[in-house]
Every structure is written in structure tokens, then in C-alpha cells.
Amino acid sequence: MIDIALIRTNPELVKENIKRKFQDHKLGLVDEVVELDKKNRELKKEGDDLRAKRNSLSAQIGMLMKAGKRDEAEKIKAQVAKNNQRVAEIEKEEEEIAAQIKKDMYMIPNIVAKDVPIGKDDSQNVQLETFLEAKEKPFDVPYHTDILEKLGGLDLDSARRTSGQGFYYLTGDIARLHSAILTYARDFMINRGFTYVIPPFMIRSEVVSGVMSFDEMDNMMYKIEGEDLYLIGTSEHSMIGRYMNTILDEKQLPLTLTSYSPCFRKEKGAHGIEERGIYRIHQFEKQEMIVICKPDQSDYWYDQLWKNTVDLFVSMEIPVRTLACCTGDLADLKYKSLDVEAWSPRQKKYFEVGSCSNLTDAQARRLGIRYKTDKGTVFAHTLNNTVVAPPRMLIAFIENHLNQDGSVYIPPVLRPYMGGKDKIDVKK
């Protein structure tokens, strides 16, 4: 959520930002907020004047009663009662207008960074850098489910029977590899100075509406029936929610955190063949990074976060590239975002394995996350980034490390987490 003062002073800038995001249907919200805000401030002034007058009249009543002027006192009492009725009406109207302003403000997107490329969707994202050479295999690379099944590591049929489409069983060395990657990612981030956290896996609706837009909520979140609880789609949700309605000490910042959680997502919509198997699923596990910092620190931490992911993948000998997300591909709360994509020898192209985002103070304003300075309190900036999400990461891993005999090479950094194994063999 942006600062309403910006809409008051520069509504055209806010409208231009909406146009850059190709959300022209939201332009009317800016004018509506301007008018509602003006009306609310008029009501507030009227209410303040009436309260001040009430206090003055109340003092007069006491003086008149002491002087025995009961009739005059009763007239003023009637006027006070009339004023009180109007004040009650104003307060109710203020509450209704404030609720509508909040609803509108939640739908107006955050101001995007000047260097974000203009584009309607992810097809117009811009490549920035590549890391490690993207190599093709001298043999045909099977679909990832075929590779995993031959390694004795994947059972989709049983998962369909127990849970439906979009779920899976991982078994044997592949299940161990999945856990090894998560554990290695945890240690990787701890070694970079991040504090490890395991958060709640369910959050209340006020946290959900604070960390994401309404469209994201509808497309992603599973609600617990009969409870004011949602399953998290990423640990960022509960990690940021931890600091809602909190005033931090300036000396505490930046908070640099890395969290583990399972993630649950609806994944609405139809998807192509390459997004079946375990690429786009309803349940997976993830290691995340979160930073809460002062405004002048967020650009620095944005660069540090995506570099951590790149370094992790490079350490596992997986080629990656970075993409600047265009305006139309940014969720409403994001100031800027960068995707990390891993090389797929099968598809001979890159695919997304992580996303780094700077949300400036958009989440902090919704959730009331501030820090104390000598001059008062200031809204903090929040950032998040995927360290690694193994189901999708497993695809990149097995394709890049697949040998011609069907076995999969394990790079040195993961061997301590795999009991010293240097490869996973095909099961006969």
C-alpha cells in the first residue's frame, strides 16, 4: 500500500504508474480515493469543531445552573444533544469512508522502480546476466518424471489416489537428495549471517491481506474451513506477519532471516506439458530469505538476496541466469523483482527456480511494521527471495547432472548431506 499523501499531492504520478503496469481499469480508484479523502477530512474538521463547541456549551450549562437559569441551561442541553447526534453520524460516516479508502488503497499498486522494464507480461522480462555455461547433453534428456521413476524416486500414481492431481511421493535417494538440498541451503544461508527460523504454517486473514494482493490471495491461498486461518503459500507470509503492529528499534535493523516451510498453493489455471510432473504442484518445501530494513538499505539488500541464490546454484554446478521482471509481471505490492532461472538441457532453455522482490514499505504499511528513530517512527522496507524450492530445483538438478547411463552425478558440496554418495544409480 502506498502513502495516501502521495495520492493527495501527486495523483497523476500514481495514475502514470498504474498505466505502466497496464492496469488502466484501476485509474478510477485514484480519483475515488482523492474525493473520499477530501470528504473524510471535511468530516473530521466538522466533528472536531462540534466537539470543541460541545465542551464550551457544557461549561456554560454548569454556569447557568449555578445561576439558577434552568430554562437557558435546558436550551443549551438540547443543542448539545443535537451536536452529539451529529458527531455520532460523522463518526459512523468517517468509519465507512475510511473502510472504502482502505479497500481502494489495497488495490492501487506500489510505485515501481524507474529501472523496471516496461512490458505486459513475463514474455517481456529482460535477461540481465548468465552464470556458468549452459550446455546441451550429447544424448536425449528424458522428461523429469521418467528420470526420477527410473531412479526409484517418484510415485505419482499413488499420490493421485491419496490426494489427487498435483501431489507426489518422493522415495529413496531422491527423497534424501530433496532433504539434502534443503539442509545445504539452510547451512549456506546461516553461513552468510542469516538467522534460521521455522515459522507457523498457517496464518490469519489479516496477515494474508497484509502480505499480498487480493488477486494473489484468490489464486494461491487455501483457507481452513470454519477457521480464520490460511495455509501459507510461502514462509515469507508468516515471517513478515511476525512483525505486524510492531515498532522495532533502529539498532535491530536490518533483520536478515532465512526460513524453512512447506508451501501450499492452489495453482489455478491450465499449464503446459513442461509444467506437469513436479514442476507446478499444490505442496512443496522451500528455504526462503527475508530482510526487514531501513529504506536506504533496501537497494543493497535486494542485490545481496538474488546473489545468494545465484551463488547457491553455481555451487551445485547448475547454470542460471537472472531476469528483470517487467512492469506487467510485477505483483501489486512489488517495487521491483528479479527472477533466477536454471538451465534445462531437456528444453534447451531456462526456467524459473526463484524470485527476488523488493516491496519497499508496501507490506509494512499494511501490517504496521515500523522502527523508532530520534525523529519518530518510520515504516520499514521488506524484501524476500527464494533460496531454493527442491521439487522444481530437482528438475534442474537431475537434468544438468544426468549421465548417459541414467545415473545422476552429485556435486561435492552435497555429498556430506548424502552420506558421501557421488551419484544416484538407476534402480533395477
Q: In the listed set 107, 132, 157, which residue is the last one of a domain according to the structure?
A: 107
Please give the tally of structural domains in the chain. Answer: 2
Residues 235 and 334 both lie in one domain: yes
Residues 46 and 178 both lie in one domain: no
Does some domain include residue 117? no
Residues 248 and 318 both lie in one domain: yes
Does some domain include residue 128? yes
Residues 26 and 147 both lie in one domain: no
- CATH, residue 380: 3.30.930.10
- Tell which residue, 356, 322, 366, has the closest CA to residue 336: 356
Residues 238 and 376 both lie in one domain: yes
**Residue 231 burial class via C-beta count within 10 angstroms: exposed 0-12, middle 13-18, buried 19 and up:** buried
Residues 86 and 132 both lie in one domain: no
- Give the list of residues 6+ apart from residue 300 with CB closer than 8 angstroms, or none: none
Residue 291: all three cell numbers together? 530482510
Helix (H, G, I), strand (E, B) or coil at 349: strand
Residues 84 and 204 both lie in one domain: no
Residues 253 and 322 both lie in one domain: yes
Does some domain include residue 113? no
Q: In the listed set 65, 80, 107, which residue is the last one of a domain according to the structure?
A: 107
Does some domain include residue 385? yes
Does some domain include residue 318? yes
Helix (H, G, I), strand (E, B) or coil at 306: helix
Does some domain include residue 114? no
Residues 137 and 103 both lie in one domain: no
Residues 158 and 132 both lie in one domain: yes
Q: In the listed set 57, 80, 107, which residue is the last one of a domain according to the structure?
A: 107
- Give the list of residues 6+ apart from residue 287 with CB closer than 8 angstroms, or none: 182, 185, 186, 189, 258, 259, 260, 386, 387, 388, 389
Q: What is the pTM of this model?
A: 0.88
Of all residues in the chain, the percent with pLDDT exceeding 90 is 80
- CATH, residue 85: 1.10.287.40
Does some domain include residue 112? no
Question: pLDDT, tens digit, for every residue of 383-410?
Answer: 999 999 988 899 999 999 999 999 999 9
Query: In whole angstroms, what is the distance from residue 243 CA to residue 192 CA?
Result: 23
Q: Quickly count: other Cβ atoms within 10 Å of residue 93's Cβ.
A: 14
Does some domain include residue 116? no
Residue 19: all three cell numbers together? 498505466
Q: Quickly count: other Cβ atoms within 10 Å of residue 61's Cβ.
A: 18
Q: Quickly count: other Cβ atoms within 10 Å of residue 224's Cβ.
A: 10
Range of the structural domain that residue 86 is part of: 4-107
Residues 344 and 397 both lie in one domain: yes
Question: pLDDT, tens digit, for every residue of 234-257?
Answer: 999 999 999 999 999 999 999 999
- pLDDT of 268 higher than 70: no
Residues 259 and 329 both lie in one domain: yes
Question: pLDDT, tens digit, for every residue of 57-89?
Answer: 776 766 666 677 777 777 777 877 888 888 899
Question: pLDDT, tens digit, for every residue of 106-134?
Answer: 999 999 999 999 999 999 999 999 999 99
